[in-house]
Each structure stands twice: as C-alpha cells, then as structure tokens.
Structure 1
Amino acid sequence: MGNNFLKEDETLDDLQLKGICVIQKKHAFRFGVDAVLLANFATVKKDATVIDLCTGTGIVPFILSGKTKAFKITGIEIQEEMVEMANRSCRFNKLEDKIKFINKDLKDLKFLKNLSKVDVVTVNPPYKLKNSGIINPNDRDAIARHEICCTLEDVIKACKSVLKDNGRMYMIHRPDRLADIICIMRKYKIEPKLIKMVQPNFKKAPNMLLIEGQNNGGTFLKWETPLCVHNLDGTYTDEINKIYGK
C-alpha cells in the first residue's frame, strides 16, 4: 500500500505510534532524536491549535497527532519538495482533517499575521550560524542545519506573529546559543518559562536544550532535570525508551 505513495528515492518509516508512518528521502535530511524530544517536550492540551515551523518531513506534527488531542496542526516549511512529501504522508495516514502542510517562508510576516492565532508553536530550527562550520554541499541538508534561509531572530519573530496571548512556544536548540535565545525571546516579549538540557550521557556536557516560552508571560524560569539520551554502554536510557514508546 505504501508503494503507491512513495517515489523511488524515498522510504516509509513506521513511528511505532498508532500506526503512523512518515515518508523520508533515502539520502537527504532525515529526522533525528531532536525532533522526537521536541514533540515529547511540548505541552499540547485537548482541542489546542498548533503551528510547527521548519517542519521538514512533518515529524513533529505527526508525533503530536498521535500523542495529543490537538484540534488542528499546521506545518510550515520553506522547501517545496519537503512539503509535497509531508502532504503525501498526511494522505497515507488519513490525517488530512487534522494536519496540513504549507510551503511558505517563515520570514513572510504578512502571511503569518493573516493566519489564525494558535495556542502552541513548536520549532526545530537550523542550529548553526550561517558562516560557521562546513556547509553541506547538499542544499536541502544545509538549509536544515545552517541559518541560510532564516536566523534565530527570524524564528522567534515568527513564533510571536502566530501565538495567541499567553500561548506557548517550544523549541529545541544548542546550549551555546542559550544567551541569544533568551535575549531574543525577551525582545519579542516571549518569556522563557522552562529549560531542559539534553546530554549524550551523564558523563558528557549537554549538546541540546529544550526551552518553553510564554507569549507576554510573567517572569519565572524553571529548570527541569537534564535528560540523558544514552547509557554508558551506548544503549538508550529508560527515559528515551519511554519517549519512543518502548
């Protein structure tokens, strides 16, 4: 059945979550643990409306649709090919009434401001500064990893544009950008409320962070216990296995 939805260079991957599958490219950017952690970190209440920015393959919307009772989830992605693929995943899973994907640039604030305001925004943005590190020669991978099409400020400005008053923003990023993240969030009056660091294992420093912000929220910041991805023997920790439903 899945072959009717797939192109030659694609795979259909089972999320082990209510039978939901996601189409991905065989040799291009594929979702990783960061997207799974973000979807698990976000608090989405019953009948909430959600926008996922930089949605890529649509992995976060698909996980949220399986784990929450969100009313509507919209994924926004600048790469047309990814949006076409995500919409095929949507049809395969028969989730067209709950999820849709739109090919738009999140810097298009006129478009964003014409959307209905939402309760929750999730975003797994490019982590690396535009001029830092080696740029992947595959443009699709480079766009996903480097601030080529959007900067951190563009991302947070977009979140501000679509959030309801007191709505929540959830983002995964890198610890070395924490000062920038907090400063820019406060610039746009999205108050940091919760931070959770993610470590490769308990002997290594964090390499990811999860942050929650509240649009026009009051000042009170909490830190959650760090999450370790692996045990020292390289196996997943119990917490990660629980997130993956194992």
Structure 2
Amino acid sequence: MKPFHFKKFSIQQSKEVFRVGTDGVLLGALASIKGCKTILEVGTGTGLISMMLAQRNKEVKILGIDINENAVHLAKENFENTPFHQRLEVVLKDFKFFTATEKIDLIVSNPPYFEINSSEKDDIARQQKELTFENLISKSASLLSHKGILSVIIPAESEDQFIAACKRHGLSLHHKVIIHGILKSKPQRLILEFGFEEREIKTTELTVEKLPRVYTDEYLELTKDFHQFQK
C-alpha cells in the first residue's frame, strides 16, 4: 500500500493494519495535550495519532500499544522515521492486562466500535472482539492520574452508552466535539473527553467537508500543520 504523507512525517501502511483515516486525524489534532507529560494510545495501529500528538507537544513521551503484532511492527517502523522518534515507543500488549509504574496524563483511543459480526475486514480494529467500551473505560480509570484525561472518538449513536459507562467508573464528561462528515448532515462522530473532576461540559462542532472531497475551512485550519493540501 502507498504511504500516507504529512508535512513532517510519512506513514507506511499495510493491508493487515487499519489504514489512516479521518477519525484518527481528528483525534490526533483535537485531543487535549496541554500540560501532558505521558500519553498512552490504546490500539495504535499505524501510529498515526501518537505521531500527531508528538508533533503537537514537544515535551510529551508517548507509548502506543496494540494487540496486533503486524500493527506493532508497522508503528515501530513509522515511529523510527519521525523527527520525534526518541519520545515514541510501541509494544505488543492487550490493554486489559496492561500495567504502568506511574499514572498517565492522557489515554487516547480510536476504539473498535462495531458489535461483533461476520465481517473479517479489520475485525480486531473495528469490532469489539478484544476491546469493548467497558474494558477501555474501566482500565483507563485505573491508570489515569488525578487530573488525567480519557480522549476518544466514537460513533455519535454510541454517546449515551459510552457516557453511562464512564459515569460508572467515576469519569465525568469535560468536552464534546460534534463532528459532521459533510455540511448539514447528521452528526457522524463524537470526540469525547473525560476526567475525574466534575466540570461544566464544553461543547463544540466541526464539519469536515462542504461537498464530497471538498474540505471546510475549519477542517483545513485544524489540520494545517499536518496535511499537505491547503485552502
């Protein structure tokens, strides 16, 4: 497969690993990283989100984990070829059994969100076979620092389910980004951020495209440090 080129790094891709997509780009550009020293990406895939976060925050150290051995090898290759390689690491690990010696400032994930079905295409990355929302949330709650953040991108229709699961584990919604795939369409995705502190919820909206393959000015502005195309 052809590599995907950003301004400051390129991403090698593989048929065995979930490819670069808009969801990952959005989370990499929008996840809250101010003040973060340590980040864990759950289900790193190609390493896209980790590399974007490393570009945005020059102090942070990032660990990506994945249950897919092919993804780990690919992410390692991609990490080594970035200007931020010294702050990036990837390991083969099932998040359900992950342990850390110190609490983590930010856990970020573009998690599997389809119910288990008969499709074999990217089944581990797309279907909740190995990592359910409940698994992701409960484990994250045990690993986050007192002021730590869980940042995810999920389908809009999964909002109530995800928020309810977070509440069960003491995590409150801090920020919601409502994402429209195309102008005037129904919300397609949500970026949700949770923490242990209760705060007034900040809600924003973002539209990706005006027309198919014609990006909005707000999306181009958001990704101007990454995408090579311009307004």
What is the CA–CA distance in structure 1 between the aligned matches of 2:181 and 2:9, rounded to whole Å? 27
- Matched residue, 1:58: 47
> Would the alpha carbon gap of residues 232 and 22 (structure 1) be closer, same or farther in structure 2, given more than 3 Å must change?
closer
The equivalent of 1:167 in structure 2 is 148
Aligned residue type for 2:176: I
Q: 1:81-230 to 2 correspondence within 5 Å?
A: 81-93=70-82, 95-108=84-97, 111-112=98-99, 114-131=100-117, 135-138=118-121, 141-214=122-195, 216-224=196-204, 226-230=205-209
Structure 2 stretches of 5 or more lacking a match? 225-229
Matched with 1:3 is none
> What amino acid sits opposite 1:230 in the alignment?
E
CA distance in 2, matches of 1:107, 1:233: 38
Provide, for residues 186-245 of structure 1, a one-character-per-residue CA deviation record: whole Å limited to 9, x for no partner.
Answer: 11111111111111223210110011111x211532221x21111036400011112221
Partner of 2:227: none
Contiguous gaps of at least 5 residues in structure 1: 1-9
Q: Given residue 221 of structure 1, which amino acid in structure 2 is its aligned partner?
A: I
> Residue 210 of structure 2 aligns to a residue in which SS?
coil
Aligned amino acid, residue 164 of structure 1: S
> How far has the Cα of 1:107 moved from its partner?
1.0
User: Displacement, 1:136?
Assistant: 2.8
1:11 touches 1:26 (CA, 8 Å); kept in 2? no
- The equivalent of 2:65 in structure 1 is 76
1:12 matched to which residue of 2? 3
Question: What's the counterpart of residue 242 of structure 1?
Answer: 221
SS in 2 for 1:179: helix
Report deviation, 1:28.
Answer: 4.9
Taking every aligned residue pair, what percent have the same amino acid on both sides? 27
Give the secondary structure class of the aligned counterpart of 1:86: helix
SS at match of 1:43: coil
Relative to structure 1, is the Cα distance of residues 206 and 47 closer, same or farther in structure 2, using a 3 angstrom cutoff? closer
Output the TM-score relative to the length of structure 2.
0.90
RMSD over aligned Cα atoms: 1.8
Q: CA deviation at 1:166?
A: 1.6
What aligned pairs does 1:41-52 form with structure 2 within 5 A after superposition? 41-46=30-35, 48-52=37-41
